[in-house]
Structures are given as structure tokens and as C-alpha cells.
């Protein structure tokens, strides 16, 4: 079964073709990120206008790369939530029209759950086994930080979530405080590489006895530290960035290990834009290995928003989103 996926939940315009929910035949992603950078964040109107302009061309390119025609497509899967309303409408309208024209099913997909499904995707020449279920899943991105239990596909049970800022949102806001630019995640990661120290420490709210997160407090702590010490002779932005990154990655890893222990899960799935962070990957891999947990994190390209994960999960949904 060839499913064409459409993803337009934020600033990316992506169309992909995935075969049998596993094999990526094409995955085209066009981003308007450069146009948003000067504003320090995503401008919804700019995002939706660019998506409207290019979605048809992106879909044609995805079909060409897959070596298929529209008549070879068996279903269309599209992100319907969550996301920017204008951007979602572009993708949904395009997908509805295409599915209606072809007389094939339209499958509605949850963007957050699809980030976890990215771990099940493979390139045509990759025959490596897929993750074993049941599993614990962590989606960590600019807009979401959510923990799931995944018993079987496509069933996702929410275990916890952020009570305020998402982890990626905290990275962006701290990068703005430190004047490192946008997007904040890559900027902080790069600067933090030279800032290793044990003198500066920040902590995230623990929220004990839950699998919830909170990143608003650490953002405020960085703001006050920067305000009070930025004129000190010994003040170094890279050390502040390092301390912030260490604290955020630690709480993400700790909560994942707690969830795996509580549910006796031997598989951990991680997805979302922040999962591209090198330090998070290092710490998650090390902690999982010490506990004999099989951890899966997608390749960098599949950590970011893309349509392959939408098409892949759509294969299992059969046109009906199921969520506990």
C-alpha cells in the first residue's frame, strides 16, 4: 500500500510517499525558517502563505522521487492536529481535494504521535528490525513535551506532559535571552560545546510522583542570572548555555527512565525536534544502556517535522484516529 503523507503543522511544507507503513519512497521537506529567523520565532501568516504557494510543487516532487503516479496512491494521510490553524488548513484542504479527486481514503493523523512513529520508518535498503512493543515514548519538540505508553500501534496512552513551556520552547527563549539567535536549540547546542563547567547550575522543577515536566522556571532562572551577571568580567554565555542544556536533558532522561521502570518497559522511543540534540542523545543512550533498555531515536532528518512519519502512522490508522 502506497500512502501519500502531507505535513503542514508549522513552517514546513512536506509531502512523502511511504509503502506499507515502513519504507520511505520519498520525503520532500521545504521550510520557510529563514523568513522567520529575523522575527525570533514563527510568524503564522508567513508560514501558511508559503505553504499555499509551494504545496502543489512539493507533492509533484515527492511523486517524482518515489517513481509513482497519482494513480499508484492508495490513500492520503494528513496532519490534522495540533499545529498552526492557517498552516493546518492548507494541508487539510489540499489533501481532502486530492483524496476526493482520486476516490481514495483520507486519513487524519495526530502530529505528536507521528513523531514517535518516525522510529519505525526505514529507507528501501534498510532491513533492520523495527522497535519492539510495548514501549515508552517521549515526544520532545518546540511545541510539545509529552510522554506516552505505546502498547500496540496505533494506540497511544498519555502518561505525562509539560505543565507550561515545552522543552524546545525553553531552548528558543533562553537563546533569545542570551542573544544567540533563532532557532534556539541548535544555537545553544553549538555554544554549549565550549562551556563545560560545574560552577553554574540550574534546575528544572521535579514535579515528583508524576511524569509531567516544567521548563518555565529554568527559563526564568537563566533570565535572572543573565541580568545579574552579564557585566561580570568572568561571565561567559557558553557556560550558561551549557548549564541550561545539562539541566533540561537530565530531567528528560530521568523521567524516561522512571517511566520505563514503572511500566517495566524494555523499549524507549524518542521523537521530535529536540531529539536531534546531540547531548540529549548521548545521555539518553548511556542511561538506557545501563538499564538494558532498547532506545530508538530517529535519524536527524526524521526528528524534524516531515510527511514520512504522517504517511507511516496513517497506514496503521485506517482513516480513524484512536487515542486513549
Strands (E), 135-276: 135-140, 145-150, 156-161, 267-271
Reported confidence tier of residue 188, pLDDT bands at 50, 70, 90: very high
| Within a domain: 130 | no
Residue appearing with cell numbers 532491513:
127
Q: What is the pLDDT of residue 33?
A: 75
Q: What is the Cα–Cα distance from 141 to 12, expressed in whole angstroms? A: 14
In a domain, 45, yes or no: yes
pLDDT at 324 over 60: no
Q: How confident is the model over 268-272, as a mean pLDDT?
A: 97
Averaged pLDDT for residues 269-273: 97
Q: Give me the percent of the chain exceeding a pLDDT of 90.
A: 90
Distance CA 83, CA 11 (A): 10
Query: Residue-wise over 19-58: b if at least 16 C-beta within 10 A, else e?
Result: bebebbbbbbbbbbeeebeeeeebbbeebbbbbbebbeeb
Alpha-carbon separation of residue 106 from 60, 92, 204, 209, 311 (angstroms)? 18, 10, 41, 40, 11
Residues 187 and 160 in one domain: yes
77 and 214 fall within a common domain: no
Q: Percentage of the chain with pLDDT > 70?
A: 98
In this structure, the answer to whether residues 142 and 274 fall within a common structural domain is yes
* Residue 304 scores a pLDDT above 70: yes
Q: Are 25 and 53 contained in the same domain?
A: yes
- Three cell numbers written together for 169: 520552547
- Judge whether 126 lies within some domain: no
pLDDT per position as a tens digit, 92-130 = 999 999 999 999 999 999 999 999 999 999 999 998 999
Q: How many residues does the chain have?
A: 324
Q: Which helix (H) or strand (E) holds 78?
A: strand 75-81
Give residue-wise pLDDT tens across range 199-242: 999 999 989 999 999 999 999 999 999 999 999 999 999 999 99
Per-chain mean pLDDT for the chain: 94
Q: What is the mean pLDDT of residues 87-93?
A: 98
Q: Is the pLDDT of residue 323 over 50?
A: no
Residue 91 maps to a domain: yes
Checking if the pLDDT of 320 tops 60, the result is no
* Region 14-39 average pLDDT: 91
Residues 179 and 226 in one domain: yes
Give the H/E segment covering residue 16. Answer: strand 12-19
- Rg of the chain over Cα atoms, rounded to whole angstroms, equals 20
- Number of structural domains (the chain) is 2
Same domain, 141 and 266: yes
Under the banding of pLDDT at 50, 70 and 90, the label for residue 9 is very high
Q: Is residue 157 part of a domain?
A: yes
For residue 151, give the C-alpha cell: 502498547
What is the spatial distance between Cα 192 and Cα 283, in angstroms, rounded to a whole number?
15
Give yes or no: residues 52 and 169 share one domain.
no
Report d(CA 138, CA 273) in Å as an integer.
11
CATH number at residue 92: 3.30.420.40
15 and 90 belong to one structural domain: yes
Classify residue 90: in a domain, yes or no. Answer: yes
Tell me, what's the pLDDT at 34? 77
DSSP, collapsed to helix, strand or coil, labels residue 118 as helix
CB-CB contact of 148 with 139 (8 Å): yes
- 181 or 244: which carries more pLDDT confidence? 244
| For range 263-275, the mean pLDDT | 96
106/210 same-domain check: no
Residue 31 has pLDDT above 50, yes or no: yes
Same domain, 290 and 311: no
Please indicate, yes or no, whether residues 165 and 35 belong to a single structural domain of this protein: no
Confirm whether 127 is domain-assigned: no
* 56 lies in the same domain as 142: no
- The residue range of the domain holding 220 is 135-297
Residue 179 lies in a domain: yes
Q: Is 44 left (phi over 0), alpha (psi -120 to 50) or beta?
A: alpha
How many angstroms separate the Cα of 150 from the Cα of each of 117, 270, 292, 304, 318?
A: 10, 12, 18, 21, 18
Name the least confident of 79-83, 238-242, 318-322: 318-322
Amino acid at each position: 500500500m502506497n500512502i501519500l503523507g502531507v505535513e503542514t503543522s508549522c513552517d514546513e511544507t512536506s509531502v512523502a510517499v511511504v509503502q506499507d507503513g515502513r519504507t520511505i519512497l520519498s520525503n520532500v521537506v521545504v521550510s520557510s525558517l529563514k523568513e522567520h529567523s529575523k522575527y525570533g520565532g514563527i510568524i503564522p501568516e508567513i508560514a501558511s502563505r508559503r505553504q499555499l504557494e509551494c504545496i502543489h510543487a512539493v507533492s509533484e516532487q515527492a511523486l517524482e522521487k518515489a517513481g509513482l503516479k497519482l494513480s499508484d496512491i492508495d490513500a492520503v494521510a494528513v496532519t490534522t492536529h495540533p499545529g498552526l490553524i492557517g498552516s493546518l488548513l492548507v494541508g487539510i484542504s489540499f489533501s481532502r481535494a486530492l483524496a476526493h479527486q482520486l476516490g481514495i481514503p483520507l486519513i487524519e493523523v495526530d502530529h505528536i504521535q507521528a513523531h514517535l512513529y518516525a522510529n519505525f520508518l526505514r529507507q528501501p535498503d534498510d532491513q533492520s528490525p523495527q522497535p519492539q512493543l510495548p514501549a515508552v515514548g517521549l515526544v520532545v519538540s518546540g511545541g510539545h513535551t509529552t510522554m506516552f505508553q505505546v502498547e500496540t500501534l496505533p494506540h497511544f496512552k498519555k502518561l505525562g506532559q509539560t505543565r507550561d513551556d515545552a522543552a524546545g520552547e525553553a531552548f528558543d527563549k533562553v537563546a533569545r535571552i542570551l542573544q544567540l539567535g533563532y532557532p534556539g536549540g541548535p544555537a545553544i547546542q553549538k555554544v554549549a560545546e565550549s562551556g563545560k563547567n560545574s560552577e553554574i547550575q540550574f534546575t528544572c522543577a521535579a514535579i515528583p510522583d508524576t511524569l509531567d515536566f516544567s521548563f518555565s522556571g529554568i527559563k526564568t532562572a537563566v533570565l535572572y542570572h543573565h541580568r545579574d551577571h552579564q557585566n561580570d568580567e568572568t561571565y561567559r554565555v557558553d557556560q550558561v548555555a551549557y548549564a541550561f542544556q545539562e539541566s533540561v536533558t537530565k530531567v528528560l532522561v530521568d523521567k524516561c527512565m522512571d517511566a520505563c521502570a514503572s511500566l517495566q518497559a524494555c523499549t524507549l522511543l524518542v521523537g521530535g525536534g529536540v531529539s536531534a540534540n546531540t547531548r540529549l542523545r548521548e545521555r539518553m543512550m548511556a542511561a538506557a544502556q545501563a538499564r538494558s533498555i532498547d532506545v530508538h531515536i530517529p535519524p536527524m532528518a526524521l526528528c524534524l517535522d516531515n510527511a514520512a512519519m504522517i504517511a507511516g502512522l496513517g497506514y496503521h490508522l485506517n482513516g480513524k484516529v484512536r487515542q486513549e
